[in-house]
Chains A and B, each alone.
Chain A
Amino acid sequence: MKSHSLIPTLIGLAALLGAAAIPASADDHDKVSGKSAWMMNFDLDWEKASGLPEKAMLISLQGLTNRAAPQLYIVHPPDFQWEITGPLYEFYQRKHHVDFTEILTADAALAQFAQHAKGYVVWDLEVGPSLNVAFTIAGLDDAVVVSEALIPLVEKHGLKQIDDLRGRYNGQTDAAIYQDAYNRYWHRCIHDAVMLMGGHRGRVMMPGMADWGVQRKMFFHDLSANPEHTEELALLKRIFAELAPGSTIFGWHPYGKDTEEQHTTLLSSYGHKMEGLHNLPNLSFNSQFTFTPGFKFTNNHNVARDAKLVAEEKVYITFIQSDSIGIGVWTKPGRGKLPFGWQVTMNWTKYSPAALEYFHESSTPNDYFIGGLSGPGYMYPNHIPADRFPVLMAEARELMAVLDERVMEIMDNSAADGNVGNTDLTKETVDRYYEAFPDVIGFINGYGPARTRDLRDTRPMLSYDYYIDPKRPRDEVAADLNELIALNSTRPYFLPVHVRESNDVNSLVEITEQLEGPVEIVPLDVFLKLAASNKTYTTRYQDPDDPKHFKGF
């Protein structure tokens, strides 16, 4: 994969709204635009032994500070996983007229913002999960999170100790630590969201999203959904069961403890949705901005919704990046040279409208936006309870309408092995999507290749026939695509290609120049209209006999 599949989102919560709302009006834009704010530059050092403690302290401070107003924004280096913090920083200045002042040191940050904290909580560098417990306490008790070495600094700014986790969890399992935290803090936390502060563990940790959890008083954890970790799994299930219906699990699964597939399967089975990643920064800031006055998100449609096209005897190829905008191909060279579909995580309309506007502003006519992944958040639809599916997809339809999107992208890796293997949808799931989305022009399924296909009225559902790994030599990718073209010899042949986010469009251009046959690269909406006109693909769903890597809980 994916060493780790990346499903990033930029998430913000519109200032006035809860989990299911549409963004605030342009009037609210005036509340935050044209204001002063502060920014800091982070480097790439997230090691526990060096850069992490100060960053954790600053991120917790950011969450507290931004409760009152969006005041502190962090810019990460261009080679950080989230490449857009810099461009978005520029966007806030230009379109929202935010006047930023740079803060250079942690000392200066505390001088400016310590007033928003009532004290500090000390985490234990020897016990990684204690950082998550500390973040929980930070949100509940308005504390900044510090390591022992930072105590003098925060006390210099008048902060007093609220709690001290050093030694509390020595020798305990993660299950025991989080059970203790659950017993102490769960009842005080919000119950429509939790912070799955997983991702990197051990020597390096990246709690970039912690400001958001602190701001909103979430319960922080990195419990495992691996069936082998029975105690952690039991507590995780309890938390999921006690969350409100349709809750959001922010963050990401813990690397090395469980898999993305296990965790997403489990939360989906409770009807919840995932919004990643654990290191996505600045949500406490981004969530308080809306679209600028007069802005309406409009897509680059290439065909009318009710257009009828007729496919010729060709090979039609369409490229899609499904890891969402925000990292990867969008900022790499060549965008605009080829028609390209971009999966936009639906909740951006609720959590980070400014970022959506930024992407819209920088789009080319060749950039086409689609909804996903699977619904109003990342989830595996084969496992969504039947009674939750309609409600969730109603939320998705609403968001797609705001975003002017006409295609839904679906992904269910619950039976897959990373980005290979079984990524198909059951017939029941396919039936539900067709019923829930009468107005889309079609569906795309998969991450790696899959073989779920259907055509009902004018709405095709097609799966990726190919996944481009960024490490694969371009001439081999071309040879692979040519092989698919040769094997699928009936014309027209419809070949949807998933482009992993770390590719770049220039290298795709290089590939297309090596393709053989009557090949035409088309935008996704045109592709789906053509596929509706001539069904040369089979109808197929997940077959019970198909091998499954993860067989569930």
Chain B
Amino acid sequence: MKSMKLTPQKRVFFGGLIALLFATLSFATPDIDGRWRLDIELSTALDGWHSADLVIAQSGTKISIDHHMKWRTTLFDATNVYDTAAPVVMSDFFRIEQRHMAVYPAKNGHTHATATWIDQGRTLRLEIDTTVEVSQGDVEMRIYQEYRVSELGDTLTLIELHSSRNRPLVYVFKKVTEEAK
């Protein structure tokens, strides 16, 4: 068999092909976009909220996660916007929290967040440093989140680790279809 010689032209061609492949993989699949509804039965018990919907939308490298929370008759909405191109700083970061704990967003606190697509674009990884208020004052909490989209695109699993918590929180969301809305 003759060996394939890589001419300069061929090197350019294949190099461009590989670059194009990586470029494609650096963008998420569109599966994560849309409305997702918390499946209470499959998730870590959530105190202080009866239901949670996430509405995720991408615009270029930006990803917005709208939280639509409900507790009794109270409806609460909050949005976090991340950017895979660069870390962001938020003054009004929202996290789904266990509201029976005396842990509150710190007044005038700032949250630093880095977003990355991993696992061939199936997982959104967020690394968040936020300030919370506890009885001893303001302290830092490091949060690691992975939003994993299932192969069929119908389930979104949020796995969340806190620097202060050995037990991970796992929230499972189901895609809300047009009929179910």
A466→B166 contact, CB < 8 A: no
Q: How far is the CB of B96 from chain A (nearest CB, A)?
A: 13
A418→B72 contact, CB < 8 A: yes
Q: Is A537 an interface residue (CB 8 A)?
A: yes
Q: Is A465 an interface residue (CB 8 A)?
A: yes
Q: Of A465, A468, A475, A536, which contacts B102 at CB under 8 A?
A: A465
The interface-forming segment of B57-65, B111-119, B129-137, B145-153 is: B129-137
Size category of the binding interface on chain B: 20 to 34
Smallest CB-CB separation from B72: which chain A residue? A418
A483→B136 contact, CB < 8 A: no
Q: Which residues of A contact B44 (CB under 8 A)?
A: 476
Smallest CB-CB separation from A537: which chain B residue? B135
Provide a sorted-by-A list of 7 A–B residue pairs whose CB atoms are within 8 angstroms.
A449-B100, A451-B102, A453-B135, A472-B45, A484-B102, A487-B164, A488-B135
Q: Is A463 an interface residue (CB 8 A)?
A: yes
**The 10 nearest A-B residue pairs measured at CB:** A449-B102, A479-B167, A486-B164, A465-B102, A420-B99, A467-B100, A483-B165, A420-B48, A488-B136, A537-B135
Size category of the binding interface on chain A: 35 or more
Q: Which residues of A contact B102 (CB under 8 A)?
A: 449-451, 463-466, 484
Known: A479-B167, A486-B165, A490-B136. Is A543-B107 also a contact (CB below 8 A)?
A: yes
Q: Is A141 an interface residue (CB 8 A)?
A: no
B103→A487 contact, CB < 8 A: yes
Q: Of A418, A466, A476, A536, which contacts B45 at CB under 8 A?
A: A476
Smallest CB-CB separation from A2: which chain B residue? B72
Q: Is B9 an interface residue (CB 8 A)?
A: no
B100→A480 contact, CB < 8 A: yes
Q: How far is the CB of A503 from chain B (nearest CB, A)?
A: 13
- The CA-CA distance from A466 to B107 in the complex, in Å, is 20
Q: Which residues of B contact A63 (CB under 8 A)?
A: none
Q: Which residues of B contact A463 (CB under 8 A)?
A: 102, 135
User: Which of B135, B137, B167 counts the most chain A CB atoms within 10 A?
Assistant: B135
- The CA-CA distance from A141 to B107 in the complex, in Å, is 59
Q: Is B6 an interface residue (CB 8 A)?
A: no
User: Which of B44, B100, B162 counts the most chain A CB atoms within 10 A?
Assistant: B100
Inter-chain pairs besides A417-B74, A483-B165, A538-B136, 19 sampled, C-beta below 8 Å: A417-B72, A418-B72, A421-B99, A448-B99, A451-B102, A453-B135, A466-B101, A471-B45, A472-B47, A479-B165, A480-B98, A482-B167, A484-B101, A486-B164, A487-B134, A487-B136, A488-B139, A493-B136, A545-B107
